[in-house]
């Protein structure tokens, strides 16, 4: 935005004397505000220091009911989200293949990509990367750092692959992620891979029923009692 010029006579307002009490109060408020900002920034920087990380348990999942199958550590990087990188987005993917083939490539260190979760046609949920960590799923570093990626078994040109069980299970998962990180349930924060800047992917494709999906997520967000803890 261009610089806005002040109207004539407005300069006089800046010449008003500020009382000592107002100055002290204002200065104190500013100092407190600065201290809070500094504390939050230091906390965020602390979690980015090498070898500093939250306690972890092998095989632990973030979503109750998910089965843990570890992705290759070449397809993600260790982090301590949301303390080092805030999470404000869920990215919806389609595997362009079977569930088993997706698991296999995510375990392949040469693949270079993996999502946090895979949802099978029957509604089964597998977690392959902790939400703490940055999965290489979006093809955009910023989006990787701020999002959780969910793959869905099937093909973009086969909407029949997106079963009722899949929609419902995925919606419950997304609802828990949104609740955990206070993510709004809307199309600005729940997006398709195709919407990530710089990507050449088309998933989840025109057959993905976004209105239906968001309705299911909102319903689950209001009624789901799963704590999301292992």
Q: For the chain, what are the domain ranges?
A: 17-46, 67-223
Q: Give the side-chain half-sphere CA count within 13 A for 110.
A: 0
Supply the mean pLDDT for the chain. 83
User: What pLDDT shows up at residue 149?
Assistant: 98
Please provide residue 192's backbone torsions phi and psi, each rounded to the nearest 5 degrees. -90, 155
Q: Is the pTM of this model over 0.85?
A: no
Kindly report which listed range (56-65, 102-111, 125-134) carries the lowest average pLDDT score. Answer: 56-65
Kindly report which listed range (10-14, 108-112, 207-211) carries the lowest average pLDDT score. Answer: 10-14
Fold classification of 67-223 (topology level): Lysozyme-like (3.40.80)
pLDDT band at 55; cut points 50, 70, 90: confident
Kindly report which listed range (25-39, 60-74, 126-140) carries the lowest average pLDDT score. Answer: 25-39
End-to-end CA, the chain: 48
DSSP percent split of the chain into helix, strand, coil, nearest 5: 40, 10, 50
Please provide residue 91's backbone torsions phi and psi, each rounded to the nearest 5 degrees. -110, 125
Mean pLDDT of 32-52: 58
CA dist 205 → 89, 92, 93, 199 (Å): 19, 10, 9, 14
Question: Percentage of the chain with pLDDT > 90?
Answer: 70
User: What pLDDT shows up at residue 15?
Assistant: 32
The maximal CA–CA distance of the chain, rounded, in angstroms, is: 72
């Amino acid at each position: 935005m261009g610089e806005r010029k002040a109207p004539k006579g407005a300069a006089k307002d800046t010449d008003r004397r500020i009382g000592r009490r107002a100055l002290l109060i204002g200065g104190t408020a500013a100092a407190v505000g600065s201290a809070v900002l500094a504390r939050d920034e230091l906390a965020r920087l602390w979690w980015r220091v090498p070898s500093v990380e939250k306690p972890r348990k092998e095989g632990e999942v973030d979503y109750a009911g998910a089965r843990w199958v570890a992705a290759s550590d070449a397809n993600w990087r260790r982090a301590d989200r949301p303390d080092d990188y805030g999470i404000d987005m869920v990215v919806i993917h389609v595997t362009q293949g079977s569930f088993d083939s997706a698991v296999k490539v995510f375990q392949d260190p040469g693949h270079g990509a993996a999502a946090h979760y895979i949802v099978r046609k029957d509604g089964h949920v597998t977690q392959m990367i902790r939400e703490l960590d940055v999965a290489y799923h979006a093809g955009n570093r910023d989006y990787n750092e701020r999002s959780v990626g969910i793959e869905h078994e099937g093909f973009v040109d086969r909407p029949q692959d997106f079963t009722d069980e899949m929609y419902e299970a995925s919606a419950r998962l997304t609802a828990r992620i949104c609740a955990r990180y206070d993510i709004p349930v809307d199309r600005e924060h729940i997006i398709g891979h195709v919407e990530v800047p710089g990507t050449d992917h088309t998933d989840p494709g025109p057959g993905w029923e976004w209105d239906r999906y968001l309705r299911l997520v909102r319903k689950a967000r209001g009624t789901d009692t799963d704590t999301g803890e292992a």
